[in-house]
Amino acid sequence: MKAPSTKFTFKLRHSASSGTMLPFSDTRVLPDEVLATIFEHIVAIWEDDQDHDFTALGQTLKCLTVTCRNWREVALSTPRLWRNIYNADPGEGDWYSPEDLSPEDSPTLAPTYTANSYRSVDAGAAYFSFETCLRRSGVVPLRLYAEKSCGLCDLLIRLAESKASERVYFIELRDFFRPLPEFDDDFDFNKLDYLHCPNLRSVAASSMGTALFVDLYDMLSFHPGIESLSLKNVWWAWGDMEARELPLLMPKLRDFKISHHQHSGFVKTFEMLRMPNLERLSIEKTYIEISALPSLGAIVINQTFPLVNEVAIVGPLTTRDITNILDKASNTETLQLRNGIYDDYEELFTRLEYRPWDEAVLCPNLRHITLQRCPVTPHAVIAMAESRFENNRPLISIATLAEEWAQWPAEAINRLAAVAQVANFIPGTT
């Protein structure tokens, strides 16, 4: 006997009187995952038409949720919807919808703490009781988003006063812009005893306003157990930072990703953070002043990373800048170079050739290299791979996009395959 189908379908109709979208089905008999799908579908429809009354939309979804026995679980299973809908002010109809990030732009570094094996709590949602959500969520990856009034101070106080803070392993801070302290003293983290989550392991911060960097610094200083840190487009107020004891030691940090930074912010980040046990370093879409004089604009990192074995560099960095980075991570075994379209990497690959008599050789322990849209000729890649093979330091694999391999002469691929494994790089898999 054929098993009954568990796939649910539904249709939406428009209510002219209320201006809302309602499902035909009685929501009381629908399982949670179907309600979640309905919610997401409604959101997609309304997000496509910004002229709609978002307050009405919020009320529609609240009507749906109260008919469901497990409405809190449904909301927790759809954090994007929860963030967008329940941040709407029922009185004024204010709407906040942060820009969706593509997987490539995600500020999150640690999939271990953000997998779907547990539910996420969005602290910006005002409709549900925050404490209730924490009690129902098990291990909590906490996400904090900007609000009209932010509300972050109250949130941190409530969290610090509850035992729920012991179950927060991941925190994401996004889109917090507050004025400099001399213009606005109402939102001052220094009035708090700071958020303290004893088991916090991963932090991602993106698009943080200038004065908030001091707050981020202080928050990190209270959490020496952080193992993964991602900073994206974080603005600086260096004058405020001078009041802090620099640098900040992060002894357990293993993964560090920095992206979308200008030159000064990039350099200051490495001046501020000391990461002696770093193992994975990712630098993405960081814009260095390519036209600057040789003595200016170059990446200068005044610390070494002897334990780093993985380096990913994505975006328009010059050979000089990449060389400076790799020189600080001399034990790198896995190297990614992607989208390096603004420079000629022939010299870089010459530096990557292995010469036993040359103490300045880059990455002597290199084993895997991934290339994507990088300005380097097959000849330079082959010369680098052959030099390592001939000196008993062979590469294990060289990968690039299948369409880029298709542009290589067959003879060149055969020469490379004789000294290293030729592999196809699939974006999103590393």
Nearest CA among 360, 411, 361 for reference residue 387: 361
- 67 or 59: which leads in pLDDT: 59
pLDDT category at 321 given cuts 50, 70, 90 is confident
pLDDT at 239: 52
Question: For residues 349 and 331, what is the distance between their CA atoms, to the nearest angstrom?
Answer: 17
pLDDT (tens digit per residue) in 296-308: 446 667 788 999 9
Residue 307 tokens, joined: 């334990």
> Mind giving me the DSSP string for 265-302?
HHHHHHHHEE-TT--EEEEES-B--TTS-TTSS-----
pLDDT (tens digit per residue) in 195-220: 677 888 888 887 766 555 666 777 78
- 361 or 117: which leads in pLDDT: 361
CA 160 to the chain's CA centroid:
25
pLDDT (tens digit per residue) in 162-185: 666 777 777 777 665 544 343 344
Residue 124 burial by Cβ neighbours in a 10 Å radius (0-12, 13-18, 19+): buried
What is the mean predicted confidence (pLDDT) over 352-368? Answer: 87
- 247 or 401: which leads in pLDDT: 401
pLDDT category at 244 given cuts 50, 70, 90 is low
- 128 or 61: which leads in pLDDT: 61
Beta carbons of 266 and 300 less than 8 angstroms apart: no
Most confident range (mean pLDDT) of 28-32, 329-333, 423-427 is 329-333
Residue 65 has pLDDT above 50, yes or no: no
Residue 382 has pLDDT above 90, yes or no: yes
Residue 202 burial by Cβ neighbours in a 10 Å radius (0-12, 13-18, 19+): buried
pLDDT at 241: 58
